[in-house]
A and B are shown apart, each in its own frame.
Chain A
Amino acid sequence: DTAVSQTPKYLVTQMGNDKSIKCEQNLGHDTMYWYKQDSKKFLKIMFSYNNKELIINETVPNRFSPKSPDKAHLNLHINSLELGDSAVYFCASSQVARAEAFFGQGTRLTVV
């Protein structure tokens, strides 16, 4: 069983479109995250939810909106996609702060 799964794995879309990435974890963790990995492999946190509540919101454009319908799911919706949004987006989860995070396989988003 996959612990943290995200879909789709690849996403190619045109500028200006709106797209969503879904993430689910079956580990029973109470905290979920979105990270962005740029073309140089640098990883930076975008958002974090704990028990469906937003607790971390790094400096991310308003076009990015996370939603957590329950503590096992954290989706990422992106409006008006721009070329600079092209990256790999990783979902992750952890049980408690300071514990290790488990990552999904990533979604490679390409905006053309």
Chain B
Amino acid sequence: GDSVTQMEGPVTLSEEAFLTINCTYTATGYPSLFWYVQYPGEGLQLLLKATKADDKGSNKGFEATYRKETTSFHLEKGSVQVSDSAVYFCALSSTDSWGKLQFGAGTQVVVTP
């Protein structure tokens, strides 16, 4: 079945540091890939998405590229802020899954001043 593996947290960074969160997936066909963010005490917000190989999703300084050859969708940001502290979830939706999202375990990111 489909699965998503992302790096364990917490990831602790200083402000303005470079952030990478690794995400790899297993799926049949060509899934859509997503990064969601959950700020403390809040629901999930879509951060970015990519629907086909080599697509790059970007939003709020975050980027991720759909790499089919390595089945990866790593999240990057060049300079993090304290306000980026949150839990980040990688997720996929397969072609025959009626939009069902398969989530990774989530990675907590803590950015210190």
Contacts and interface: CB of A to CB of B under 8 A. Distances in A.
Interface string A15-55: 00000000000000001010100001111110010100001
Interface stretch (B13-21, B61-69, B71-79, B93-101): B93-101
A100 interface: yes
Contacts of B42: 105-106
Interface residues of B, number: 25
A31 B63 CA distance: 28
A76 B29 CA distance: 32
B89 interface: yes
Contact of A94 (B45, B95, B99): B99
Tell me what chain A mostly uses at the interface: helix, strand, loop, or mixed: strand
Interface of B: 31-32, 34, 36, 38, 42-46, 49, 51, 87, 89, 93, 95, 97-101, 103, 105-106, 108
Interface of A: 31, 33, 35, 40-45, 48, 50, 55-56, 90, 92, 94, 96-106
27 contacts: A31-B98, A31-B99, A35-B101, A40-B105, A41-B105, A43-B89, A44-B103, A45-B100, A50-B98, A56-B98, A56-B100, A94-B99, A96-B99, A97-B93, A97-B95, A97-B98, A98-B51, A98-B99, A100-B34, A101-B46, A101-B99, A101-B101, A102-B46, A103-B44, A104-B43, A106-B42, A106-B43
